A and B are shown apart, each in its own frame.
Chain A
Amino acid sequence: MDGLAGMPELSEVDVVRHFTRLSTWNYGVDTGMYPLGSCTMKYNPKINEVVARIAGFAHQHPLAPAEASQGSLLVLKLFEEALCEITGMTACSLQPAAGAQGELTGMMMIRARLEERGNPRRRVLIPDSAHGTNPASAALCGYEVVTVGSNERGLVDLDGLRRAAREDAAALMLTNPNTLGLFEEQIEEIVRIVHDAGGFVYMDGANMNALVGIARPGDMGIDVMHINVHKTLSTPHGGGGPGAGPVLVSAELEPFLPVPRIVRVADDRLEASVDAPRSVGRVRAFFGNFGVIVRGLAYVAANGPEGLREIAETAVLNANYLAERLGETYDIPYRGAFMHEVVFSDKWQRACGVTNADIAKRLIDYGFHPPTMSFPLIVPGALMVEPTESNGREELDIFVDAMKSIDREARENPSILTGAPHLTRIGRLDEVAAARRPVLRWKPET
């Protein structure tokens, strides 16, 4: 049954029609507002797509000799330097293929440095508001995870952190701004506590879109971080990848960066060097997701320092605007000065028998992509909304109207919500049944 014989035999036009039809069943950033929190679903400039397809980039073999690859090597170097400037960190590796791999790489570097100091330590501290990749990455480095609580304002609880930051704590993994959209105001004290205990501070840079040109992790004393090129620097999410998760470090951790390193040799020639005895090693074949990096570089080049800062300002303004306009209709469990996103909850609608999932599904009928609901875990019934800079006031107002209308429906006719979406090709799918007896591939009928 298996083997080539089971595969489709189609004409080109059949293939084109099939996949064109599939595409119409998708919602993308180009379709409309996509306020998926912590995912930074901003507009993906079309020029970046053109640039990545230039033959000199697209058809360059990764093992071509360095003298014939100076263009690609320079792209990597320029992007490393731009990211160092944006984050205030000392050095960068573009090897990691995604944010999660950047985290893993960063934690490996911390462990390698601690081993050199004589003791890798046992624990990694992670705030309870963190994304699930943080604990998974720490575990893969052989660390036990200790959860640090949040205080009543949704920020890291400093007393809890002091208790947890003992001599066996290797690092704190901190997302800043955090997943509640709040800037960790006590960042200097947080860093001091961890450093005083001999540990390192890892910053998950997933939410850097709020900070570009505004504040730099390097200036906050962060030791190592990653940045999501597919979030902050506009490269397309592609239905779940490819992304890129460059990792950036302080001078102390630079020797541990993965190989190859892009180094300048005589006459300003660039080379990819594997001569780095303290490096954690290679984390991916070749040079990382080069095609994503080219797009990111084009974005930085197009916007320049002022454009980048204005992007952060607009993203923050938009999030605060939504918090202000919807804050009396939907509960905001942790109110504060929002950065890139705001987390609402379904608390006030639950009494009507509807949940965050129902609200999210109903938003689809209004023409919007739903917000994030799976985290932060500290907010039951979360609706995490990140408008990004890519929505003007008019679009935001339409979103506000939709959310208010949904709230009215919840009170007057909740079944509209619990049965939503109504306007899609298919309704809610039975995910429980799908997981109980998984059908993960097509098979010919016997």
Chain B
Amino acid sequence: MLGTLGRHDIEELFQVIPPPVRLRKPLQLPPGLSEPEVLESLGQLAARNTAARGFRSFLGAGAYTHFAPAHIDALISRSEFFTSYTPYQPEVAQGTLQAIFEFQTMICQLTGMDVANASLYDGSTAMAEAVLMALRITGRKRIVVAGSVHPHYRDVTRTYTRNLGIEIDTAGYDTGSGQLKAEGFSLDGTTAALVVQSPNFLGGVEDLAAWSLAAHDQGALLIVVVAEPMSLALLRSPGDCGADIVVGEGQSFGIPVSYGGPYVGLFATREKYVRQMPGRLVGQAFDGQGRRGFVLTLSTREQHIRREKATSNICTNQGLFALMATIYLATMGPAGLREVAEQNWQKTAYLAGRLEGSRDAGLRFSGPFFNELVIRLRRPLPSLLARAHAEEMLAGLPLGDYYPELEDCLLTCVTEVHTRADLDQLAEVILRS
């Protein structure tokens, strides 16, 4: 091949690179490994995650351990799915495109909204994009965010908006119920949006319909964040409650927790706002012979056409992980989803019941919950966590780093994967510690 080019040495192809910036020594990296060596070496690293195998984890807080049927992984391992790129050429990407259309449809059904996009990076960035969209729609400069929205999500929104000259106010939670508190903040004619998470980071289910009225009274949008979308199978949908934008994290739908990613960001809104949406959208189209297919559409919103005037700088979606969620939802169906959601709630209620009447531990908040509880402990948290660890359990997330006033509290998540024996054992540890 070099001969075809009239060259003798591969080096000649790089002569345009100025000598001072040419790398003249090998990269200082370990020598290449054979396949069994790669497996061995990475396997050793994985083994240092001492709590990933055998442990029962009661951690939630934005990453949920649910059961994923085996065929999801089998299907996404079809290399026609995972080795393809963004479907720019619809004639050879109908598989990806139709799957996204199905994803958009099911996200609309779950959230009660009119339109959903092809997905964003994750729940946290979806929330930031929703805030940017609300600023565009209303032309206002102030956002009110519930303090019970996932702390990481709030951080990401603050990062995304730091150069846009806007004001972000935080609304506190009611120390009794754990729900968003009406006092202490105001919605007014300068407010672009109220952002509420339900179930919130403290496990509490919010009264979205009431917050929708309050926001709309001032011409502000209601953005609903759903970090645990399994709850959508049991609770009244955010769309039905009057949400203008619903964003969320789709990880619960068949995607492993995988140390925090990749996940899949959900984004849905009202029909009238579709041209203000960020991200990829798939729509129905027909060919010259009237055959139905799917294409990327409304791309005049996007960076490759609009450049600096685009609705977002986002380029792709989380295709393969949106596909995982689609397969999960199609498999579970309405009855399966409701059953999983009910199991989550019932098992969580069972744990709450086990703690009832104890002097040593109890629920911190009185409001309705789905699958997470804030448990207050009388005795120091570290000893409880150590004891749970000794029994191969991760009992939950200590909340002090996020909410200093809750430093004696643990956020514990119960899902369908936990057995009664698991819950009894956890309750024992909590009550004994």
Contact = CB atoms under 8 A, between A and B. Distances in A.
A332 interface: no
A281 B309 contact: no
Contact of A428 (B96, B98, B287): B287
B326 to A, nearest CB: 8
A135 B303 contact: yes
Contacts of B318: 238, 240-242
Interface in B275-302: 280-289, 291, 293-295, 297-300, 302
Contacts of B297: 431, 434-435, 438, 440
B330 interface: yes
Given A60-B257, A135-B307, A236 B23 contact: no
A281 B28 contact: no
Contacts of B329: 7
Interface string B25-48: 011111111110011011101111
A442 B320 contact: no
Interface stretch (A159-167, A306-314, A343-351, A404-412): A306-314
B80 interface: yes
Given A317-B10, A321-B1, A187 B21 contact: yes
Contact of B92 (A61, A283, A291, A364): A364
A439 B294 CA distance: 10
Contacts of A434: 283-285, 295, 297
B78 interface: yes
Nearest to A131: B304
Given A284-B261, A435-B300, A421 B91 contact: yes
B21 A215 contact: yes
B397 to A, nearest CB: 5
Given A188-B21, A280-B159, A28 B47 contact: no
A3 interface: yes
B314 to A, nearest CB: 6
A353 interface: no
A297 interface: yes
Contacts of A433: 285-286
B95 A23 contact: yes
A22 B94 contact: yes
Nearest to B32: A304
B42 to A, nearest CB: 5
A109 B168 CA distance: 21
Nearest to B14: A214
A329 B389 CA distance: 68
Interface string A310-338: 00010011101100110000000000110
Contacts of B38: 47, 51, 298, 301-302
Interface string A335-376: 011000000000000000000000011001000011010110
Contacts of B300: 435
A246 interface: no
Contact of B29 (A56, A71, A82, A290): A82
Contacts of A47: 35, 38-39
B42 A301 contact: yes
B121 A284 contact: yes
Interface in B362-402: 385, 389, 394, 397
A205 interface: no
B257 A239 contact: no
Contact of B77 (A12, A49, A141): A49
A432 B337 CA distance: 37
B162 A280 contact: yes
Interface residues of A, number: 166
Nearest to B331: A15
A214 B17 contact: yes
A298 B4 contact: no
B286 A44 contact: no
B78 A20 contact: yes
A66 to B, nearest CB: 11
A441 interface: yes
Interface in B394-420: 394, 397
Contacts of B65: 59, 61
Interface stretch (B51-59, B183-191, B342-350, B425-433): B51-59
A30 B321 CA distance: 19
A119 interface: no
Contacts of B310: 132, 136, 139
Interface string A92-121: 000001111101100010010000000010
A243 interface: yes
B96 A69 contact: no
A70 interface: yes
Task: Determine which residue in A100, A182, A216, A309 has the highest number of CB atoms from chain B within 10 A of its CB, and name it.
Answer: A100
Contact of B274 (A97, A98, A370, A438): A438
Nearest to B328: A15
Contacts of A145: 307-308
B158 A281 contact: yes
Contacts of B266: none
A242 B113 CA distance: 25
B135 to A, nearest CB: 12
A305 B1 contact: no
B20 A427 contact: no
A55 interface: yes
Contacts of B47: 56, 71
A197 interface: no
A191 to B, nearest CB: 10
Contacts of A215: 14, 17, 21-23
Given A72-B259, A438-B274, A321 B4 contact: yes
B220 to A, nearest CB: 22
B173 interface: no
B69 to A, nearest CB: 7
A429 interface: yes
Nearest to A337: B16
A85 interface: yes
A41 interface: yes
Contacts of B305: 132
Given A100-B315, A375-B304, A324 B162 contact: no
A16 interface: yes
A54 B159 contact: no
A348 B82 CA distance: 36
A286 B261 contact: yes
Interface stretch (B149-157, B206-214, B351-359): B149-157
Given A60-B258, A219-B23, A321 B121 contact: no
Contacts of B243: none
B330 A8 contact: yes
Given A3-B109, A56-B53, A57-B258, 16 more contacts: A4-B338, A15-B330, A19-B323, A27-B80, A57-B259, A139-B309, A220-B21, A241-B121, A285-B62, A285-B260, A289-B261, A291-B259, A316-B13, A421-B92, A440-B104, A442-B101
8 contacts: A7-B106, A9-B334, A54-B42, A55-B46, A61-B52, A132-B306, A236-B82, A318-B1
